[in-house]
Structure 1
Amino acid sequence: MTTYSENNSSIKNWNEDDRPREKLATKGRSSLSDAELLAIIMGSGSRNESAVELAKRILKSANNNWNELAKYSITDLCLFKGIGEAKAISIITALEIGRRRNTQDVLERKKISSSNDAAIILQQQIGDLPNEEFWIMYLNQGNRIIKTEQISRGGITQTSVDVRLIFKRSLELMATGIILSHNHPSGNLVPSVADKSITQKIKEGALLLDIQVLDHVIVSQKNYFSFADEGLI
């Protein structure tokens, strides 16, 4: 059992296994108790009480119910030793964010069913840029967009691509499929030898990670070229 002295109530002074921030980073948000989550919001406890112990006491007063705690005012929270106005405001702010989240609908991720679906989105991102940029569209198992991000930015005629960054980000986002894309500022959509080479390189690497390269879409301001449509992938 860990004990806390007057000088170690701040989370940063705790043993590593007792730090909720580190626990969240290494084990995920669901591994934290309600008290640990509240402790992170507060940042520290009082001289004689750790942030987690203080959080437990506050939650207990609200019957361990976030909805009850959300009714507390700044004055109510400041009645607890170790809670000043700044901490009280932080707690109220976090709970208000949660309340607003509950009133909003979950945004439906757009599904990509064809090269045209992808091209419309990608043209809006990079179709009219004066320099080449390489982007990746990360998709889930239902071919819905998780995220669309820039991987690299180059000059007027070419851009370099670090394949490792693509796979690293794919794993972070748990993507099962990706669509490669870059723009041709010249308007000439014919893929170069380098375009074909990098596509093949990424496709081969993706197979080892069970990630499917669905397409490579080259875009200009008005048109696009799809490797999948042309049987090149």
Structure 2
Amino acid sequence: MDGKVIVVTGASGALGKVVAEVALARGARVGGVDHAASQVAATPNRIELGGVDLTDAAQAKKAIDTVASHFGRLDALVNIAGGFAYETVVEGDPKTWQRMYALNVMTALNASRAAIPHLAASSAARIINVGAMGALQAGAGMGPYAASKAGVHRLTEALAAEWKGKITVNAVLPSTIDTAANRASMPKADFAKWVTPQELADVILFLASDAASAVTGALLPVSGRV
């Protein structure tokens, strides 16, 4: 990852923080983008932009352009920003479907559209999205979330086909990620079976590396020990 410039959306979240830290440790330069206010001090190898609503195309473009201008180029985009909701189809709020689509699909779409003009100038350009194992076959209460993550899968495939030979576009499909929030919501689960943020970060950064130059359009399950 030496010297590569990577944008991480959702950089203040449990997974985004780990991806940014691991990328930095491997020699990358990282621009973090998040809806939350930034709590990270700028360094020569890291900037973080808070208060960015990636569901808004103009805000996404401004943030991505700022990172690319700061570092002089862009090599990879990691789309982690998103959301989760658990509601049954009949009893849930129809607005939840719109919110899940906005948080999971539109954030990735807007960030990708903003990044592609910069990525097109890189000799090793990468986009990595975060899909979900649960979107391959939705369970009860997973309709809005699974439908939106299925949209991320299709976005990944479409972009990979459109930019084949110029930008690789892949998605990781985690099962439950071992975060404090997930432990609190599922206290009786076997946490040892879950995917850790570090494990998922390793897969994401492999896809962002030169070693993954021949991989594009992949929906890669990262199912832990389930």
TM-score relative to the length of structure 2? 0.30
State which structure, 1 or 2, has the greater radius of gyration over its C-alpha atoms. 1
Relative contact order higher in (CA < 8 Å, ≥ 6 apart): 2
